[in-house]
Structure 1
Amino acid sequence: MPRPLVVGNGKLLINFDDRLHMRDLYYPYVGQLNHVGGHFSKLGIWVQGRFSWLDEDGWKRQLGYDRESLVTDVHAHHEHLAVSLQMADGVHQRDPIYLKKVCVRNHANEAREIRLFFNHDFSLNETEVGDTAVYDPILSTVYHYKRNVYMMANGKTPEGGIDQFSVGIKRFNYAEGTWRDAEDGLLAGNPIAQGSVDSTISFRLLLQPHEEKTMYYWLCVGDSYDAVRTLNQYVLDNDPDRLLGRVAVYWRRWVNKEERDFADLPPEVVHLYKTSLLLVRTQIDQNGAILAANDSDILQFNRDHYSYMWPRDGALIASAMAKAGYTGTVAPFFTFCAQALNEDGYLQHKYNPDGSVGSSWHPYVVDGEVQLPIQEDETALVLYALWEQYKSGKQIEDCQALYATLVRPAARFLLEYVHPTLELPKPSYDLWEERRGIFTFTSATVYAGLMAAARFAQLFGDDRRHKRYEDGAKSIRAAMEKHLYDPGIGRFLRGIYLRPDGGVEKDFTVESSLYALFALEVFPVDDPRVQRTMEAVKKSLRVDTEVGGFARYQGDYYFKKSHDIARVPGNPWIICTLWVADWEIAKAKSLEELQEPKNRLLWVVRHSLQSGVLSEQLDPYSGAPVSVAPLTWSHATFVATVLRYLEKVNELR
C-alpha cells in the first residue's frame, strides 16, 4: 500500500496510508529504526453511543497537502455519524515533534458530545519485546519507552487535555490491544503495561448543532524522559496551533526560495515540481543519507525494504536537487559518501542511514571465481553529481575538502578497474542490480565520473591528475564506440558479457538507461548512433495500453503484470518515461517540438496520487501504483526533467 502522506524534518519521518493509519515512524535516522513497522496506529471517533475508526468504509476521505508545504490537508466526512473532520499534520521543522490539528464539525441538529481516540501501536527499535507504556499523572500524558527511545503523547481541546487513557497488551495471548477497549467509547484506565503493548488516549468535545471546534494532538520523540518532557512543555508554552502554522510557513519559504520562471508549463506541473522538492526533502537524513523509499509494505514481498542509501540513486537525486538550488540540503550526502568509501576507492552496494553497509545480494564468488560485488556506476555517479553540485553552488571550499578524501581515491579506482584488452570498465552489476557484465550505462557513468574528476583537478591546479583523468575518460569513450556500439543493428548495446573462452557475448536488449549516452555528455545529442539508440528505446519500450509510459527494458520481470511482451515490455516506470522526455527535450530544435515532453510531464501528473506522491512503477492496465511510494528517485527525476525543459525553452527563445 502506498504512503500518500509523509511528513518529516531529517530526523523524524512519519508516513500515513490512504486510510489515515500511521504506518511508519522513523527516528533518529530517516529510514532507520521504524518504531511502527507497518502496523496500524489509528484515529477513531465516538458520537452519542456510536463508534467508528477512520479506516472504515463509511468515511469519505480526501488526502492532500496544504499549499506548497509539508503540512497535510485532509478531509474526512461520515454521513451517518453527521460529522466531518479537517486535519492538518506536520513535523516541527527542527525538533522531533509530530503535531496534529483536528477541526471537528457537528452536522446534526442537536448538541452532542464527541470523543476522539488516538491509538498507538509502537514497536520501539523495531520490536515489541520489552516495551513499556505508562500513564504519567504528573504531566497528564501517556508515553512509551525502551532504552534510548521515548515517545510521549498529549493533546488538548477547549474542554481540557487527555480525558481517558488505557495501556495494555497487544497481539499476545489473544489480547488484541487497547483499540478494542475504545470501541464502547470508554477506556479502562489501566496505567502501565510492559512487553508487547499499545496505548489509547481520548479527548472530549461538546458541540452545539452545526458547531465546529478544534483539538490538538502531539507526539514528542526523544532519547530520554527528560528530552520528551522538555519537548512536551515546549509545545504547551508555544501553542500547538502557532507551531503548526510556523511549520507550514517554513516549508512554503523553503520550496519558494528560488525565483523561477516556469515558462509555459501548466500549473499542475509546477505544483508537482514543488511537491516533489518537498517530498525529496523528507527522504534525506540530516547526516547525509538520501533514502530510496521508506514504504515498509515492501517487506511483505521479500522481507527487505528500500530504506537504504544507494549511492547511484542518491547521486542522481543530489544532482537534481543541486540544480534546483538546494546545494546545502544535499551537501552532507557527499561527506557521507567520502566516509563510506572503501579503502580501495569504491562504494559498496548500499548503506544504512547511519553509514553502516546495507544488505546485499551481490556475491563475492561465482562458479568458484572471486569477483568484486559492486555496481561501479554508484561510485562514478557520485563524482559526476559532486561536479554538478559545484557548478550549481560554487562551494569551492567543500569540494576542496572532498578532493583528497573522495574525488582522488574514487577516480583512481575508476582508472584501475579497467579490462586490460577491452579498455572498458571491468564487469560489475548493472544499475538494476540484476546481472553482471560490462554495460553501456555503467561505462557512460565511468566516463562522466572521470571527466568530473578531471575538472576538479583542473580547478585545483592539479595538472598531472587532470590529464590522467581526462585521458582515462577519453579511453573509455573510445572503447564504448568500439565494443558497445553494434554497426549491424545501428545502435548501442545494453552491454556485453565475457565468456570463459575469452570471447564476448553481446546483449541486444533495448534498455531505457541508454539515455545516459547523451544525458552524461558521453556523445552529442545529435550523434546518429545516439539518435538511433533512443528511437529504438521509444519504439521498443513504449507500453501500448491506455496507461502508456515506458518500461525499463524488454522483458522486465520485476512486479510483472503482463505476459503480452509485444504490447507491455514491462510495467511503466516514472523515471524511464521521464528519461524519454529528457531525450525529446535535448534534441528539440523548436518550441513546438517541446510539446511531446510537456505531455510526458502531464502524464506523470495524471499518474501521481491525489496527494502528489509518485510511485516507482505503475500497473500497465489500471495505472495503480506498483512497488513503493513515494520513490525519491521518481520525484527527483521529475524535478530534473522540469529543469531541463525550462533550460531548453530559454535556449530556444
Structure 2
Amino acid sequence: MTRFFVLGNGNILVGLDGFNRIRDFYYPYVGQENHVNGNKHKIGIWIDGKFSWLDSGEWRLKRAYKKDTLVSEFRATHKHLQVELRMSDAVHHKKNLFLREVIVRNLSNEKRTARIFFNQHFHISEANIGDTVYFSPQLNAIINYKGKRYFLISGLCEGKGFSEYACGVADFAGLEGTYVDAEDGKLSKNPIEHGTVDSTIGFECELEPRGAQRVEYWIAVGQKFREVKELHEFVMENGLTNLIKETEVHWRKWVNKERLFFCNLGKQIAELFKRSVLIVRAHTDNRGAIIAASDSDMLYFKKDSYAYMWPRDGALVARSLDRVGHHTMTRRFFEFCARVASEDGYLLHKYRPDCSFGSSWHPWIVGNKPILPIQEDETALLLDAIWKHYSRYKDKEFAREMYESFVKKAADFMCKFREKKTGLPKPTYDLWEEKLGVHTFTCATVYAGLQAASKLAKEFGKASASARYKKVAEEVRRATIKHLYSPEDKVFVKGLVCNLSEGMKLKLDKTTDASTFYGLFEYKLLPLSDARLTRTIELAKHKLHCHSAVGGLSRYENDAYYRKRSDSVGNPWFISSLWLAEYYIAKANSAEELKPAEQIFEWVARYALETGVLSEQIDPDTGEPLSVAPLTWSHAGFVIAVVKYLEKLESLGMCKIK
C-alpha cells in the first residue's frame, strides 16, 4: 500500500500507510536497514465488548500533515462504536524516537471503558530470524532486539503505563501473531519470546460521556540497551506532547529557511511545494545519501526496493535542495558521491546509504563483449549539479575540494569514454535503466557535465584542462546533432540502441521519449529557438499524451512498467509532465505563455494524495498512485519547476519572489 506519511530525521525514516500502520522503519540510515519491511503494525480498539481494527473498513478516515511540518494528523471515526481516534505522529527531529499521541474520544452519552491496542511486528535487520522480544517490568516497556539493534516500546494513558501486553511468535507454524489475542480485549501477558516474533500492548481508557483521554506511545531505537533506556527516560522527563510540539517548530523553521512569495500560484501549489521539500528531506540521510523512495511494497515485485541512492536522482534532488537554501545537505550529497566514485571517475548504477554498492541488473558482459555497466548520465549530471551549486553559493573552498576529489577524474573519464569513429559517448544504459546504447539524453548530460567541468577548471586556474573539457563538450554536441537527429523525421531520436543479435551493432531507436526533448533544452545542447527542438517536443506532446480522463504525459511510447491498459501509450508520470512544464517556462515571455505550466502544476496537485504525497506514476483512468509513493524525484521535479516558474515571473518584472 502507498505510504501516506513519511516521517524522519536523517537517521530514521518511518513510513505509514493509509490506516496509519507503520510499514517501514529504517535505522540507522535513511533507506537502510528496514526493520519492518512492509509488515503491518496494527492499531485497534475494544469498547463495549466489541473490537475493531483500523484497517477493518469500518472506519471513516481523514489524513493530513500539520502545515509545514513532518508531523501527521490522522482521524478515524467509527459510527457504530461511537468512538473517534485522533493521532499525531512524528519522528523527533534530533532524537531517535518515533512519537505518537492519540486522543480517544467517546462520542456517546454513556460512560465507557475502552482499550486501545498497538501491535509491533519487527523483522530486525530485515530478517525474522533470531529476534527476541520481552516485557521489562522495571521500565514497563517492551524490548525487541537482535545484535546491535534495540527497540523499546512504551507509553502512557493519562499518566499510567500500558496494562495489557503479550510477546509471541508470528508468521510461523500457523501463528499469525499476538494481535489476534487482542480481539477479546485481553492479552496473555506472555513475558518473552524468540525467533520470529511480534508484540502487542494495550492501554485502558476511562471515558466520560462525550469525554476524551490522551494516550502517548513511543518507540525508541538504538544500538545498545542503554541507548533506548536513556531515550525512554528522555520522553518521560520531557513529555511526549512537548517533544512533538518542538519537532513541529523545528520543521516550520527548516522548510521556511528561504521565504518565497508564490505570487499567483495559490495556496494549494504553495503547500505542495513545501510538502515536497519536506518529503525530500525525509528521504535524505544525514551522511549524504538521497534515496529514491522508501515504500517497501516494491519488495513484492522482485524482492528489492527503491531504497538506494541513484546518482542521477540524487543530483536532480540536490538541485531542488539548493534552490530552497539547504546547501549543507547538498554538500553532504556531493561528498558522498566523491567517496563512492570509482578510481576512474565514473559512478556505478546505485548505492546503499552506507556507501556500499547497491543491487544491479546491468551485466558486465553482453554478447561475449565486456562492457562497463553504468548509466553515464549519472556521472555527468553530478558535474552539472556541482557547477550550479557553486554558481549559487560561491563556496570556492568546497568547490575546489570537489574539483580535486571528483570533478577532474569524472571529466577525464568522460573525455576518454567515447567512440573514436563518431565522437559520441560509448554505449551505456539509458536513464530508465533498460536500453543499452547511445542516447540523446545521455549525450546532452555529458555535454553539460563537461561544460561544467570546464568552468570549474577555469575558476581554479586550470586553463589547459578547461580548454580540453570545453573542446570535447563541443565535439559531443556536434556528434549528437550529426548522428541522433533524423533528417527524414526532422526530429531527434531517442538514440542508437545496441542490437545484440548483430554483435552489438548500433541501430537507430526512434522511440518517442520525454527525456529526449528534456535533455536537449535543459542541458542547452540546442537553443530554445531551434526548429529541430520544437519539432521534437511537439512530437512528444502528440505521442506521449495520455488520452484518458486523467491526462498527463507518459515517459516513452509503449511503456510496459506497471502498465494498466494495453491500448494506452503508458501511464502518466509526474516527472515527464513536469519536464514539459519546465519547457513552457523556459520559452515563456508573457503571463499568457506561462499558463500551460500553471495547468500542469494544478494537474500535479490534483493527483497528489490528500497528504501531498506524489507517486512515481498514476493510473490513467482513476488517477490512483502506481509503483512507489512517495517518489523523491517526483517531489524534487515539482520544486524545481515551481522555482523556475517564479524566477521567470521575476525576470519578466511581474512578481518579486523574495
TM-score, scaled to structure 1: 0.98
Post-superposition Cα deviations, 1:591-623, rounded to whole Å, max 9, x if no partner, equal 111111101000000000111100000111111
- Alignment-derived partner of residue 540 in structure 2: 537
Question: Does the alignment pair 1:509 with 2:511?
Answer: yes
TM superposition shift of 1:7: 0.5
TM superposition shift of 1:241: 0.5
Q: Distance in 1 between matches of 2:139 and 2:364?
A: 55
% identity of equivalent residues: 45
Q: Distance in 2 between matches of 1:456 and 1:330?
A: 17
Equivalent pair of 1:128/1:195 in contact (CA under 8 Å): yes
Question: Does the alignment pair 1:276 with 2:276?
Answer: yes
Question: Does the alignment pair 1:184 with 2:209?
Answer: no
Equivalent pair of 2:436/2:498 in contact (CA under 8 Å): no
- Alignment-derived partner of residue 56 in structure 2: 56
Post-superposition Cα deviations, 1:527-554, rounded to whole Å, max 9, x if no partner, equal 1111111111111111111100001111
Query: Which stretch of structure 1 is more off in the superposition, 489-498 or 18-27?
Result: 489-498
- Alignment-derived partner of residue 456 in structure 1: 456
Query: Which stretch of structure 1 is more off in the superposition, 147-156 or 320-329?
Result: 320-329
TM superposition shift of 1:439: 0.6
- Alignment-derived partner of residue 521 in structure 1: 524
Post-superposition Cα deviations, 1:281-308, rounded to whole Å, max 9, x if no partner, equal 0111111111011111111111211111
Question: Secondary structure of 1:118's match?
Answer: strand
Question: Secondary structure of 1:64's match?
Answer: strand
TM superposition shift of 1:26: 0.6
Q: Distance in 1 between matches of 2:561 and 2:458?
A: 43
- Alignment-derived partner of residue 124 in structure 1: 124
TM superposition shift of 1:324: 2.1
**Which letter maps to 1:523?**
L
- Alignment-derived partner of residue 313 in structure 1: 313
Question: Secondary structure of 2:87's match?
Answer: strand
Question: Does the alignment pair 1:77 with 2:80?
Answer: no
1:365-514 alignment runs, 5 A limit? 365-497=365-497, 504-514=506-516
Question: Does the alignment pair 1:253 with 2:256?
Answer: no
Equivalent pair of 1:319/1:386 in contact (CA under 8 Å): no
Q: Distance in 2 between matches of 1:501 and 1:359?
A: 27
1:317-336 alignment runs, 5 A limit? 317-336=317-336
**Which letter maps to 1:384?**
D
Post-superposition Cα deviations, 1:324-350, rounded to whole Å, max 9, x if no partner, equal 221112221111110111111100011
**Structure 1, unaligned stretches of length 5 or more?**
none
Q: Distance in 1 between matches of 2:482 and 2:504?
A: 17
Q: Distance in 2 between matches of 1:205 and 1:555?
A: 56
**Which letter maps to 2:259?**
E
Q: Distance in 2 between matches of 1:216 and 1:330?
A: 36
- Alignment-derived partner of residue 647 in structure 1: 647
Question: Secondary structure of 1:72's match?
Answer: strand
TM-score, scaled to structure 2: 0.97
- Alignment-derived partner of residue 344 in structure 1: 344
Question: Secondary structure of 2:71's match?
Answer: coil
Q: How many pairs align? A: 650
Question: Does the alignment pair 1:615 with 2:615?
Answer: yes
**Which letter maps to 1:563?**
S
Question: Secondary structure of 1:186's match?
Answer: coil
Q: Distance in 2 between matches of 1:560 and 1:479?
A: 35
TM superposition shift of 1:165: 1.1
Q: Distance in 2 between matches of 1:93 and 1:361?
A: 36
Equivalent pair of 2:177/2:197 in contact (CA under 8 Å): yes
Equivalent pair of 1:390/1:396 in contact (CA under 8 Å): yes
- Alignment-derived partner of residue 574 in structure 2: 574
Q: Distance in 2 between matches of 1:404 and 1:224?
A: 39
Equivalent pair of 1:380/1:446 in contact (CA under 8 Å): yes
Moved over 3 A (4+): 497-504
Post-superposition Cα deviations, 1:362-399, rounded to whole Å, max 9, x if no partner, equal 11111111111110001111111111222222222222
Report the RMSD for the aligned CA atoms in angstroms: 1.2
Q: Distance in 2 between matches of 1:502 and 1:33?
A: 39
Post-superposition Cα deviations, 1:177-223, rounded to whole Å, max 9, x if no partner, equal 11111111111111111111111111121111001221211110000
- Alignment-derived partner of residue 209 in structure 1: 209
Equivalent pair of 1:159/1:205 in contact (CA under 8 Å): no
- Alignment-derived partner of residue 298 in structure 2: 298
TM superposition shift of 1:498: 5.6
Q: Distance in 2 between matches of 1:538 and 1:483?
A: 23
Post-superposition Cα deviations, 1:428-469, rounded to whole Å, max 9, x if no partner, equal 000001111111000000011111111111111111111111
Post-superposition Cα deviations, 1:302-330, rounded to whole Å, max 9, x if no partner, equal 12111111111111111121122211122
Query: Which stretch of structure 1 is more off in the superposition, 537-546 or 156-165?
Result: 156-165
Q: Distance in 2 between matches of 1:643 and 1:111?
A: 54
Question: Secondary structure of 1:580's match?
Answer: helix
1:142-181 alignment runs, 5 A limit? 142-158=142-158, 160-181=160-181
Q: Distance in 2 between matches of 1:397 and 1:204?
A: 59
